[in-house]
Structure 1
């Protein structure tokens, strides 16, 4: 297995894996064009790594070293493109999309004072047909090595659902993550912020 930086040629496959791995999630509902824009942002101004087996992308990790500004900067630069990409979803479910997009427009990033010098793992996904082969753990270990080289972050953290999410929480627990804090998103959805020290090996 090879893990490398993603290129723009990988975008279609990355979007395909996202859609298959995150079925039913809001970002998936926004569609391929929206996801393509989002992951282009990670290629250009964040970190987007892909796991490759037999010349085929089977998983990816995406994140940023500037979680407090990455999404706001992306929104300022490409807000019209994101809006147009979300338009088909807006037509299908206007109330849901308007509410979610309103939150995204005023989202100021994950600026948590106690998590300064931390890397936000925004997304980690493996092709469902390739699950159970250690690819997710391989991507986590790869990210650790990348961040050691960059020497800009001391910890990695991510945000995930607290409830009905046992397999995901179990995976991150095995990878060395622990619960840093709990909070409610949009006033109702209970979330966990998980954190892991970057290990110098």
Structure 2
């Protein structure tokens, strides 16, 4: 029986490994394991951050990262470990300025500029399942566990973003879990996204 609980700092390397196997071609993956470890460590340590794992006999097989308050969370996250993120930024400045620009625009994204969106909801930032456990209900177990966790902390809504085009399987999964389109928006570099949202009350 799967168990969902908080991830510990000592398990961050496993989280990064699962992320890499789940999202091999994603932009954040291409930034390298050091960036991913800094990012997920910052989420874990932030007061509004959530990092949950799904365990099979105490073996970490999947994870989800989230925040209790979506509004300005990435800005707050960077400020919480400014030195580490600045070191990554300086490195990219000399090695990959295009990646640095994309990272800045994505982490500082403000799709909540939509007048109907105040960002006053919890947000799923990332969810990943180890390659050998995909298709076995781990993602559903994680999402259900996250919803319960957020409800117990007083959260009333959970949002997430996913690709608008050629993404019927993921959209269908989220719709089956009760998520409905909130609005769509464009993120850098011209990638159309859905913001989905679900009431937890």
1:119 equivalent in structure 2: 122
1:184 equivalent in structure 2: 186
1:197 equivalent in structure 2: 199
Q: Is the 8 A contact 1:11 1:40 kept in 2?
A: yes
CA shift for structure 1 position 104: 4.6
1:12 equivalent in structure 2: 13
Q: Are 1:78 and 2:89 an aligned pair?
A: no
Q: Tell me, in whole angstroms, the C-alpha distance in 1 between the residues paired with 2:107 and 2:11.
A: 27
Q: Are 1:161 and 2:163 an aligned pair?
A: yes
Q: Tell me, in whole angstroms, the C-alpha distance in 2 between the residues paired with 1:123 and 1:115.
A: 21
Unaligned ranges ≥5, structure 1: none
SS of match in other structure, 2:166: coil
Deviations 1:12-41 (A, max 9, x none): 010001111111111001111111111111
CA shift for structure 1 position 84: 2.8
Corresponding residue to 1:143 among 142, 146, 158: 146
- Quick check: 110-119 or 187-196, which moved more? 110-119
Q: Tell me, in whole angstroms, the C-alpha distance in 1 between the residues paired with 2:21 and 2:92.
A: 18
Unaligned ranges ≥5, structure 2: none
2:37 equivalent in structure 1: 36
RMSD: 2.3
CA shift for structure 1 position 60: 0.8
Q: Is the 8 A contact 1:68 1:109 kept in 2?
A: no
Q: Tell me, in whole angstroms, the C-alpha distance in 2 between the residues paired with 1:105 and 1:64.
A: 14
1:55 equivalent in structure 2: 58
4+ residue runs over 3 A deviation: 85-92, 104-117
- Quick check: 26-35 or 69-78, which moved more? 69-78
TM-score (norm 1): 0.87
TM-score (norm 2): 0.87
Q: Measured at CA, do residues 197 and 105 of structure 1 come closer, stay the same or move farther in structure 2, by a change above 3 Å?
A: closer
